Structure 1
Amino acid sequence: MMNKGLKKGLKITGVTVAVILVFMLVLPFMFKDKVITIVKKEANEMLNAKLDFESLDISLFSHFPSASIELNGLTLSGIDDFENDTLVSAESIDVAVNVMSLFSDKGFDVNYVVLDKPSIKAVKLADGRVNWDIMKPDTADVEEEKTVEVE
């Protein structure tokens, strides 16, 4: 027969593990709408392109111990001269991210990216501009260049 201390310890451990598992299941659903808004807003602020997707799924189990974010119906469309071009479209894109890096100020540690049925259209205009050069310039770099020119 087990002693009472061991039984109590096993019960506490079992309840703790159950609470953590429930938390891991519920957490992605609690923040899903907020994450969708943040992803679209931040991507469109960083890019000279328009990112859109039909749905987003978050899972802490599918690529454990990494967090998984899956975007379904993804499209990345150009703007200005490339407005009618869709640079990338995919049925889905699955990104596995180190969970601990989500709480860091240094960026995210992406373990891997999986594209399902991707379509990529690369265009180069006669003047040398390309549709895949979509990152907006970093404002810190622009300020540094202006300072160097003045000197």
Structure 2
Amino acid sequence: MTLTFHAADLFGLRAFGHIYSRIGNPTVDVFENRIAALEGGAAAVATASGQSAQFLAISTIASAGDNIVSTSYLYGGTYNQFKITFKKYGIGVKFVHGDDPAGFAAAIDENTKAIYVESIGNPKYNVASIPELAKVRIPIGVNGILLM
């Protein structure tokens, strides 16, 4: 196969390979594979920012009409993403003051897909009790999904 045909197959997405850094490059590929191996996962996705990661994670599990339950102790950019951006996609965010698991449990309904905390939280420097929050039941799974 000539280099020209190989390049055509790569750009035609008929062959796997690195062709354009926005859809994959060797450095990011190594990083993603190592993270997946460290976490025991099948794959990983690297993003350019934490907010990109949040958006991908939440929009993967929630659709229009769904919601997540989040602490109110958030970085300002996260708060804006939750309050404004997700609303544009029909994904609601219920804010709970603090990080008490009982508050999260009370806010969950049949459309809740995840709970979200940042630990260490902003602006209170609170440390959320991840093991206790992980016990809060969400309708979609046995143990629910906790994003942080």
Higher normalized contact order (CA 8 Å, seq sep 6+, divided by chain length): 2
Same fold (TM over 0.5): no
Q: TM-score, normalised by structure 1?
A: 0.23
Q: Which is strand-richer, 1 or 2?
A: 1
Larger radius of gyration: 1
